[in-house]
Structure 1
Amino acid sequence: MRRWRPLRAWWARWACPLAILIASGTLVAAMTWGLTTFGPAFAALGIIPSALDGRLLYANPALGHIAQRDAHALPGAPFGDLMHPDDRPHLQEHFAALARGVTDAMALDLRLRRDAATPGWARVTLGLIRTSDGVPGFAVAIVEDVTEERAHTAALEHQALYDPLTDLPNRVLFLDRLAHAIESARRDELPVVLLLLDLDRFKEVNDTLGHHWGDSLLRKLARRIRAELRGSETIARLGGDEFAVLLPPGEGLPAAQSVATRILAALEAPFEIDGRVLDVGCSIGIALYPASGRNATTLLRRADLAMYTAKHAKAGFAMFAPEQEHHTPHRLSFTSELRHAIHSGQLRLHYQPVVDMASGQVNHVEALVRWEHP
């Protein structure tokens, strides 16, 4: 359980005794009293009384350990010196709020200024101690090292948002980025480009060589595609052998065609896995906001239609066109009827000879399937 959650209640109970001791000038006695009173529960926490401008007035050994500094050298130094430079303005804003008396307690997470090899995070709870007439007098900070907690949380977030096989963003993260890109483009009246990739001949690799080879191929392919993209362009694995690429708002059809061409060229070279050479390609469907759709779900569906158009035409890539969607209901209906025909025995197999008219010889036989549609 996080220690800082009950600190607001603790502050409400003990701020007055601390204020009396501090007001009487016995600051070190106040800290000794606090540490003795609360014992082991606060042994690992940095205890810092400070002026309202952020100068440290005292530092206990735990703070020195957390900040990787000599605790005896800290009094008089700015509290912000312990933190990452980018986080100091945020900390100073909180001290300013205490000095104005607009709040009596607050908590925030800040990055510690350690050496590059041991970065860290601190959870800082700030409390205001007022004088006897209610005027803001001092601040006391309680500092907890939450480096491991933050690392654990980051690992869980990465696990939830990234594909474990390729370490690319997964469908959840990609859809979130696509939705944000559309929202940004809507405000600025810019286009957004979505490319959907489906591998050709990947099923043959899985069925013939096994999933171990398929997984190795996906990892190598992801690295090769990522190498063709700029840092502002997002590639994600949506599942199976399906990938998606998102270009930043403002890029149009020429950029989409350029990226698709680069990806197709990158996949022309075969992949070598455990001494075996594998040849796969991909088909790419392109959809643009707002011409192809005005939300993430519609763009993905229409990029998928364009991708199947490219696959059937063996064209490499294709742009979504409205006529592609017109065939969708018919295709779904046809597929359903054909599935029913197979199960209900409506298909009949027939053979017919192909005869050489000059010699009268049967050269070969054709096999035909006739659908006896009711």
Structure 2
Amino acid sequence: MLFSDRRSCAVTAERSAMSDERGRAVRPPSPAGVLALRSVLVAATSAYVVSVLPGVRPEGSSYLPWLDFGLTTLVMLLSAGLCAVRAVATPAERATWTWVVASIVVYLLGNAYYYLRLVDLPADLVPYPSLADAGWLGWYPFLAVGVLLLVRTRSRGAAPVLWLDGLTAGAGAAALAGALFLQPLLEVGDGGGALLVLTNLAYPVADLALLTVVTLVFHLNGWRPDRTWRWIGAAAITLMVGDSVYMLQLAAGTYTDGGLLDASWTVVCACLAMGAATPVPEAQATGARRPTPAVPAVFSLAGTAVLFSGATEQRALPLVVGVLGLLSVLLASMRLLLTVREARRLADAHREARTDELTGLPNRRELMHRLGSALADGQVDGTLSAVLLIDLDRFKEVNDTLGHHHGDQLLRAVAERLADVFRDGDTVARLGGDEFAVLLPDVADLDAARALGRRCDDALEDDFTIDGLHLHVDASVGLAVAPLHAQDVHGLMRAADVAMYEAKARPGEVVVYDPSSDLNTPHRLAMLGELRRAIQGDELVLHYQPKLELVDGRVTAVEALVRWQHPVRGLLPPADFVPAAETTGLIMPLTLRTLSLAIGDAVRWREAGHELQVAVNLSPRCLLEPGLPEQIRDMLAERGLPAHLLRLELTESTVMVDPVRSLAVLRELSALGVRLSIDDFGTGYSSMTYLKKMPVDELKIDRSFVMDMLASPDDEILVRSSIELAHNLGMSIVAEGVEDAETFDALSTLRCDVVQGYHLAYPMGAGAVLDWLEGRGVDARRAREAAPVTDGVPTPRTRSSAPTARAV
């Protein structure tokens, strides 16, 4: 920073050296010296202004050579010195202030010639124009170059429209000033020859040009220019007023040397110097300022008024005034055309910002806007609004098989169908990808909204013909109604999204949002945070349910069932937290923690003389996690547990998520010696081909078939067929859900290999497993007669108390 206050000077003092354009070291000016120069300048200028006040000088002594010439010369030298210091201290603005110094020096030479050669001559012998006028007029080109260089330096990045507005304002202001002052000034030299007229014209025209530039800069800076420009603006206004008054007094014969008017020109130099003595702005935000067309509009009206005045008063305007007035009007017209074009561009951009580029439908932004309006109207008149969220099923297969070009054509065709089947007031929008939405702003009730939702299926019922190919599209449709399911835009969209994902499991239905199936609640988010801490801590516990071999009545395996010992809510079953973990990244840490606990318990049982195989359920997401076999191998090796004592149970649907990748992972696990089972067999949709390829050695019949096999012939057939299939494939078969002796005996008759259920034992803690085994022995009959226990506590053997949720 430079000059203006002690803080700025302190900053300047911290700079030990600067560099000029050629890279040479430049010593910065002394802060104390700068302050001294400025103080002397202010004192000298003030002294000169006071000296010319009426009544200060002796009567009849309007001109005091030793005082007037001395003080004006001192002020100009000090002004040139401060500008020179600024040029040295500010390399970026060196050219600017060098030109300003030159302008002051030229003015000083003209001033010196006048005081030394002309001031003592009689008035009728003073030549006009003279060499003094050459100096006084000669300073304008130098000053103009310096000011224009400063404009370029300080106004980089200004938008073109700002420059146009600034020029309009400058031309209008100059035209107005010219109309007020220029005509009388021209009359001063009337009949005095061309040189006299040109000289008289040169002063105000140059002043008007300077005023135009200053007005431009003020506009570029939002009419809040920095302090340098304020001082330059003050100099321009003072100069124009001084020249105008001088010419008028000269025309009237009332001008005398040594008055306030002479002080005005000296003040102009001091203003320039004070502008040089202000801090350099740290940042220029000119380019970021918003156009303010009101200001140039006012000045263009001024230019129009000048032209109108000249036409109505039937007197010729000076040429320069007419040109400036006409220029302001033309520039204002250009600005109007630019404004219209910008308005059209903004309208197009606004439309494009709310329109899907591919389909031409409203996009998410526009849908949210219209939905907000519909909800606001509904709150006033009590109407219902609904949102249908539509996701095209297996659309990725189209892109992968036929390419994105065909996929885009299909999306456009779907958009046309949907737009045709809904009501005129409904909004069909594309949210992105293969996801569409329909806003139903006024529906009678939930059933009416559901009926409108079925139009999606109607629209997609017929095949689409794309480049000669017949493609069929199915969709999952979720429905949410306001204010039944949510009262705000984002809440309603989220509810529709939840319903849409629920619809993926219920093909062909328009699924209405059900809060009870919504896992994405604030409670769930809080629970996930607690679950993360539970996994890292010691809040997870495992209960185990024994498996009995029917051939010899031995218990050789147990299934691990995870529980959460919540510090506030108590012992939570897996149904309370496993589904939430399944949909997040927590399922893998949860499974690894479960495996670690199960392997640790199996090792302790083995050390106690009971070699029990422990089974752990495996999530679909875990099976697709890279490095799972290596992690399990390291766990087994670290604990010293043989791999065959670990069994991983996975459902048919787990494998079918990504059959190729899943089979590769299963083969790696099998190669380690880990046993594999298909859990809930009969409820999935795996093919015999994949079942034959999977390296599994055990099938588990789902409990839903086993529990009702005595009452349902169909379930009995399914159980019998599953047992025969497993045996034919060389696998063992496990029946879970055995809750009474009759089912136990029936399974034994059907040659089932292993049974598991509450008839044998309820899930129990790791310590209770050892106590249970010690108390039971190996007698299968005693196992059937023993009361089921949980952690050593007898439990009633009722179906209603049996947990039904799957565990990890």
TM-score (norm 1): 0.61
Structure 2 unaligned runs (5+)?
A: 1-160, 166-290, 525-576, 592-621, 633-647, 650-675, 678-695, 700-719, 734-806
Alpha-carbon separation, structure 2, partners of 1:359 and 1:250: 55
1:259-278 correspondence to structure 2 within 5 Å: 259-278=452-471
Alpha-carbon separation, structure 1, partners of 2:721 and 2:306: 115
1:26-175 correspondence to structure 2 within 5 Å: 26=312, 36-39=323-326, 42-43=329-330, 144=337, 146-175=339-368
Residue 359 of structure 2 aligns to a residue in which SS?
coil
The reply on whether 1:286 has 2:631 as its aligned counterpart is: no
1:352 aligned residue: 697
The worse-fitting range, judged by mean Cα deviation, of 4-13 and 254-263 is: 4-13
1:191 aligned residue: 384
Alpha-carbon separation, structure 1, partners of 2:725 and 2:493: 57
Alpha-carbon distance, 1:9 to partner: 2.9
Asked if the contact 2:383–2:443 (Cα under 8 Å) also holds between the matched residues in 1, the reply is: yes
Residue 243 of structure 1 aligns to a residue in which SS?
strand
The worse-fitting range, judged by mean Cα deviation, of 273-282 and 149-158 is: 149-158
Alpha-carbon separation, structure 2, partners of 1:180 and 1:358: 61
Asked if the contact 1:270–1:279 (Cα under 8 Å) also holds between the matched residues in 2, the reply is: yes
2:294 aligned residue: 8
Alpha-carbon distance, 1:27 to partner: 8.2
- Computing the radius of gyration from Cα coordinates, the structure with the larger value is 2
Alpha-carbon separation, structure 2, partners of 1:211 and 1:321: 35
| Change over 3 Å in CA distance of 1:273–1:7 after alignment to 2 | closer
Alpha-carbon distance, 1:7 to partner: 5.2
State the one-letter code of the partner of 1:244.
A
1:235 aligned residue: 428
Residue 312 of structure 1 aligns to a residue in which SS?
coil
Alpha-carbon distance, 1:358 to partner: 12
User: Could you report, residue by residue, the CA deviation over 1:190-218 in whole angstroms, capped at 9, with x for unpaired residues?
Assistant: 21111111111212212222222221111
Asked if the contact 1:182–1:192 (Cα under 8 Å) also holds between the matched residues in 2, the reply is: yes
Structure 1 unaligned runs (5+)?
A: 47-61, 63-122, 124-142
2:397 aligned residue: 204
1:217 aligned residue: 410
Asked if the contact 1:184–1:249 (Cα under 8 Å) also holds between the matched residues in 2, the reply is: no
| Change over 3 Å in CA distance of 1:366–1:275 after alignment to 2 | farther
Asked if the contact 1:226–1:235 (Cα under 8 Å) also holds between the matched residues in 2, the reply is: yes
User: Could you report, residue by residue, the CA deviation over 1:289-316 in whole angstroms, capped at 9, with x for unpaired residues?
Assistant: 1110111111111111212222202242
Alignment match of 1:312 (pick from 502, 505, 509): 505
The reply on whether 1:335 has 2:583 as its aligned counterpart is: yes
User: Could you report, residue by residue, the CA deviation over 1:207-247 in whole angstroms, capped at 9, with x for unpaired residues?
Assistant: 22222222111111111101112231111111211111101
Alpha-carbon distance, 1:365 to partner: 6.6
1:321-332 correspondence to structure 2 within 5 Å: 321-325=514-518, 329=524, 330=577, 331-332=579-580
1:181 aligned residue: 374
Alpha-carbon distance, 1:189 to partner: 2.1
Alpha-carbon separation, structure 2, partners of 1:11 and 1:30: 25
1:245 aligned residue: 438
State the one-letter code of the partner of 2:383.
L
Structure ranking higher in helix proportion: 2
TM-score (norm 2): 0.30
CA RMSD of aligned residues (A): 4.0
Alignment match of 1:258 (pick from 433, 445, 451): 451
Asked if the contact 2:303–2:324 (Cα under 8 Å) also holds between the matched residues in 1, the reply is: no
Asked if the contact 1:233–1:246 (Cα under 8 Å) also holds between the matched residues in 2, the reply is: yes
State the one-letter code of the partner of 1:232.
G
The worse-fitting range, judged by mean Cα deviation, of 338-347 and 263-272 is: 338-347
Alignment match of 2:494 (pick from 268, 289, 301): 301
The worse-fitting range, judged by mean Cα deviation, of 242-251 and 282-291 is: 242-251
Aligned residues: 277
Asked if the contact 1:193–1:248 (Cα under 8 Å) also holds between the matched residues in 2, the reply is: yes
Alpha-carbon separation, structure 1, partners of 2:383 and 2:425: 16
Task: Compare relative contact order (CA 8 Å, sep 6+) and give the higher one, 1 or 2.
Answer: 1
Alpha-carbon separation, structure 1, partners of 2:731 and 2:379: 57
The worse-fitting range, judged by mean Cα deviation, of 21-30 and 227-236 is: 21-30
User: Could you report, residue by residue, the CA deviation over 1:136-172 in whole angstroms, capped at 9, with x for unpaired residues?
Assistant: xxxxxxx647553333222222332222111212212
Residue 247 of structure 1 aligns to a residue in which SS?
strand
